[in-house]
Amino acid sequence: MSQFGCDKCWSSEASNAWKAVTSIPIEEYLIDESHYIVSIRSCPSCSQRYLQVTTETVDWKDGEDPIFRTIIPIDDEEQASLTANKPPKTSVLEAIGPGRRSLKYGWPKGEEPSTYWGTGVYVGLHD
Ligand SMILES: [Zn+2]
């Protein structure tokens, strides 16, 4: 399976991995805007780092903002280059781990939120 993380921060099952990885501390914010947040989480047990990208679009009509998140494990080199070049460009984020398994969370308007596996990073629309 994955060579990333430990059972405290990652899992082969998407919803378990989501619960685990979102419970580990955020180490650093690379971008912290109201509808666009990019942060790095770090596992206290195994020191694995994860890049998290959250995008929201504002739904002025109903006040229910669609939210999309991606969490992807990153290596030390990627972490160093991301934190040295803040704030990262969209193209830089989307160049992280193409083909690497990432965890996605989507809460489209009018639907139930879901977690599922994807690959790489896709920075969605955001306000
Ligand atoms: Zn871990």
The domain in which residue 20 lies consists of 14-119
Residue at 91 is within a domain: yes
CA of 89 to the centre of ligand 1 (A): 27
Residue at 124 is within a domain: no
Residue at 110 is within a domain: yes
Residues 91-103 as b or e (16 or more Cβ within 10 Å = b): ebbbebbeebbbb
Per-residue pLDDT of the chain (127 residues; tens, 9 = 90+): 457 999 999 999 999 999 999 999 999 999 999 999 999 999 999 999 999 999 998 877 777 788 999 999 999 999 999 999 999 999 999 999 999 999 999 988 888 999 999 999 989 888 8
Residue 58 neighbours by CB under 8 Å, 6+ apart: 35, 65, 127
CA of 60 to the centre of ligand 1 (A): 39
CA of 107 to the centre of ligand 1 (A): 26
Total number of domains in the chain: 1
Residue at 31 is within a domain: yes
Residue at 7 is within a domain: no
CA of 76 to the centre of ligand 1 (A): 14
CA of 24 to the centre of ligand 1 (A): 8
CA of 127 to the centre of ligand 1 (A): 32
